[in-house]
Structure formats: C-alpha cells, structure tokens
Amino acid sequence: MAVLSRACVRLRRKAKRGMMSPACLLAVHLLLLVLQKTTALPELTCRFNQHFLSVTGEKGNPNNDPDCQFQVIDNEFLDVIGSTPKLLDVGQARASQGPVYSREDNMIYYTTKRDPGGWSTRIEKIKFKTFQAGETPNEPETFADGSPIATGLAMHPNGSLLAAFQGVGGSKPTVGQIALYNLTAATGQFNPFADNFCGSPFNSPHDLVVTQGGEVYFTDPAYAYAGGFKGRPVLTEAVYRVRKNGVVEVVATGLQRPKAIALTGNGKRIYISESAAWTGNVSENPKLDLSSFDSDLPHNIWSFDVSNGRLVNKQFFTTTVNFGGYGTLAPMSIKTDTSGRVYVATYQGVQVYSSSGSPIGVIKLQGVSAIGWGGKENDHMIILDEERVRAFKLGTCCGVVSSSWRLRAPSLSTFFMFFLVLVLSMLSLDPFEVRSPMVSM
C-alpha cells in the first residue's frame, strides 16, 4: 500500500504539471475505476456522514438509511465486519443480560428480562446454531428458575458459571451477590461466591469479569434501590474485586451507576461504564427505548490499568451518543478483542471503538441490551435485544483471523491494478523525484 500511495502522489504531480500523455491519462482513469471497484463497501454497509444540521436539518439526516446495518466511521471497521457482514438468527428468547458461551455443550447462557409485574428472572440456555428462514429455530431451555434478578454472567476458569444477582427486598428478601453454578448439575442450584463487603450487603451487583487466575471484578450500582425493590443502600456505588482467597475489596468508587465491565485479554486493562443516563430500570416493567435515557446524567466509559490486582490510572475513554441519529445513549454492555478494540452495546446497536477511544463503526440493531463472545473459534459476537439471540461473525476477532476482504485471495483486477501502478510509477519517475525526499501534499 505504501508503494501505491507514493505512485499515486507522483502521478498526481505529473497530471497537475501537464506532463502526462493522453494514453497515460487514460490509464490513470482506468486505475481509479479499478480502485473504486475493489474498495467498494460490502452489501448492507454505508459510511457515516458528518453532515451539518444548519444545512440539512434533523429530518434531512443522511445517516438514517433503513437499508444500512453496518455504518463505517473509519476503515478499521471493515476489518471487523469482513467482506459479507450479516446478522445471524439463533432463536427467539427474552434474553437480556449475559451472554456467555460454553464450548463443552455448545450453549449460550443468558439471563432473561424480569417477569411482568414481578422481580424474578431466569437463567436460560440456547444451542449456538444459526438457522435460515424455513428451518426449525432453536428453543431456549431453563437452566435456573426464580433467580433474584440475575444480570451479568461469566465463565470461571474451573468451568463453573458465575452470575450477578441484584437481589430483592420485601417480605422474602434476598441479598445481592455473586453466585456460583455447576453447569453439570441438573438442579440449577447455586452456591454463594461473594455476598457482602466487610459484613455490609452489596447494593445490586450487575456485571462481572474473571481473570485467568480466577479473580473476579464486579460492578455494584444502586439500581435495585432506584427501581424500588430494595431499601436504601448501606454501601456507596463501587467496583469490587474478589481475590482467590475469597476476600472482597473495593477497587473503584466515584462512578454514578457503574454498570458494564470488561477486561482485556492480557488482563492489563479494565473498562467500566458509568451508566446513570439509563433510567429504564426504575419500574416493574423496565423498558429499553429512547425515553429511558437522561442526557443530563453520565453515560461514559472509563479505562483503568490493572496493577497487582488494583485499578489505577483512571482515564476517560469515550461517551456514548447516537451516531447518525439524535440523543443520548447509555453503555449497556462492554467487550474487548485482542486487537484492543472496544465493543459497546447501546440502544442504537453495537458501537465499536479503536483502542484509543475513537469510534470506527456501528452494527445497527435497535435495542441491544448485552453482547458477548461465542463460537468454537471465539469468532462470533453474541447479541441480545431482549427479544432474540443473534450472532455475528467478525472479520478479525479475539486473536482469531478469519477471511475478510483485506485478506482474501487477490483477484485478476487486483493483479492488474498493481501491475498498472508499478508500470506507471516507473514511467512517471525522474531522477530529481527519486533523490528528493517525500513531501506532504
């Protein structure tokens, strides 16, 4: 690509100086046509348009294309979606939080929405097998019933399933806790993993991650109190660490509604969302729509370095907004890949950011509530929207490189393009340009 860029710069200079023959100009036009064809966006994909509201107005927003499911903000996003991006259907389910994938039984585990008018949820599982129209869809199975508002899930290195319970108050109160399930047990019973900090009950544990060494980090916002199904919190909203010996310690405070949490593959960085802008959990029937967000409240993601188990060097990573639309969105779920990218579930869909925090693209799907990784090769994103379980195979994901338009076998037009560029670059060279340093144009 460097050779191509230098050749194009030299050709542009020659054309501006009128030093190119008609035949050479024709060849350049052919080259540009080939370049345009080989870099065309995949189907269902569009580019983000940084328009001007003063010119187009809100109704004239060019980013509201109903046929666009994959919105490209930066070309790095093309590595993520691959050459033929498509959302795959796994099955219909009231899937809300989680999700985690078990290779042993090829199942996706997730937590359901709260039962209408009640405070209980279920942990369900569904076979990870996509289906096409006309095929028999996968049916969810109940793994554990009557969970006291289970939310986040994570796999422990020993093969057990960890679940975050918000807990409930009332006549039959249950404490918020991190619970441990044995996936091979038929009863769906759990054992407590952590349910207090120095004798004080947690608020409503929401999301969690597990290190390769078996230590657990989890968020503890006050959603249960805000929702009216638990009393006033005893502890401040915080992020906790459960050490391998079972001791619980605070590792971060000062965040309003710390909700989603993600750990990088090397275990050196943690991302935590500040999701106070989401107010949809304050009723018996929580909803996930644009009326559930308050732009006056925080909707940020922060990064922390992990040093000897502690979270240090807090840095602002990004704030979530509706790209190509209008309004505020709260981060609902976060995941990372080994290339350093960060994936954020929002009401708009899955927003993808570079390791530096710059947005690179959006998988547009209204009402996404949680995301996770899955598949035998760990190369699929599992997407929940409280009505269906979907999967999306990424072009470059989690250290596993699959076929993408940048890595596929070169076509005849590609060979022609490079051959033409090399010939034209040699024809357009002169001794002075070879010896002179390259300058910016």
Query: Taking 90 as the threshold, does the pLDDT of residue 128 lie above it?
Result: yes
Residues 10 and 105 in one domain: no
Q: How far apart are CA 289 and CA 393, in angstroms?
A: 26
List Cβ neighbours of 21 (8 Å cut-off, separation of 6 or more).
none
Query: Taking 90 as the threshold, does the pLDDT of residue 275 lie above it?
Result: no
Residues 431 and 397 in one domain: no
| Total domains, the chain | 2
The pLDDT, as a whole number, for residue 377 is: 86
Of 41, 153, 59, give the one whose Cα is nearest residue 108: 153
Chain Cα centroid distance, residue 404: 19
Q: How far apart are CA 140 and CA 2, in angstroms?
A: 51
- In this structure, what are the phi and psi dihedrals at residue 416, rounded to the nearest 5 degrees? -60, -40
Residues 255 and 343 in one domain: yes
Please check whether residue 391 lies inside any domain of the structure.
Answer: yes
Percent share of the chain, pLDDT over 70? 70
Of 230, 162, 221, give the one whose Cα is nearest residue 190: 162
The pLDDT, as a whole number, for residue 411 is: 47
| CB-based contact 163:190 (threshold 8 Å) | yes
Residues 299 and 215 in one domain: yes
Of 295, 314, 193, 324, give the one whose Cα is nearest residue 246: 193
Residues 124 and 102 in one domain: yes
Please check whether residue 343 lies inside any domain of the structure.
Answer: yes
Q: The domain containing residue 34 runs over which residues?
A: 2-42+406-435
Residues 23 and 73 in one domain: no
Sign of CA pseudo-dihedral 373, 286, 349, 210: negative
Residues 163 and 32 in one domain: no
Of 222, 257, 387, 268, give the one whose Cα is nearest residue 332: 257
Span 377-401, pLDDT tens digits: 888 999 999 999 999 998 865 544 3
- In this structure, what are the phi and psi dihedrals at residue 81, rounded to the nearest 5 degrees? -90, -15
Residues 161 and 36 in one domain: no
Please check whether residue 145 lies inside any domain of the structure.
Answer: yes
Residues 119 and 259 in one domain: yes
Span 76-99, pLDDT tens digits: 999 999 888 999 999 999 999 999
Residues 291 and 417 in one domain: no
Residues 123 and 18 in one domain: no
The pLDDT, as a whole number, for residue 438 is: 35
Please check whether residue 386 lies inside any domain of the structure.
Answer: yes
Q: Is 0.85 topped by the overall pTM?
A: no
Q: Per-residue pLDDT averaged across 39-48, rounded?
A: 83
Taking CB atoms within 8 Å and a gap of at least 24, the contacts of 345-351 are 345/260, 345/369, 345/370, 345/371, 345/383, 346/320, 346/322, 347/288, 347/289, 347/290, 347/292, 347/293, 347/322, 348/322, 348/323, 350/381, 350/383, 351/320, 351/323
Residues 301 and 418 in one domain: no
Span 283-317, pLDDT tens digits: 444 445 555 667 778 889 999 999 999 999 999 99
Query: Taking 80 as the threshold, does the pLDDT of residue 414 lie above it?
Result: no
At 314, list the tokens.
Answer: 């807090």
- In this structure, what are the phi and psi dihedrals at residue 223, rounded to the nearest 5 degrees? -65, -35
Query: Taking 70 as the threshold, does the pLDDT of residue 11 lie above it?
Result: no
List Cβ neighbours of 56 (8 Å cut-off, separation of 6 or more).
62
| CB-based contact 69:364 (threshold 8 Å) | yes
Residue with the bigger pLDDT between 110 and 3: it is 110
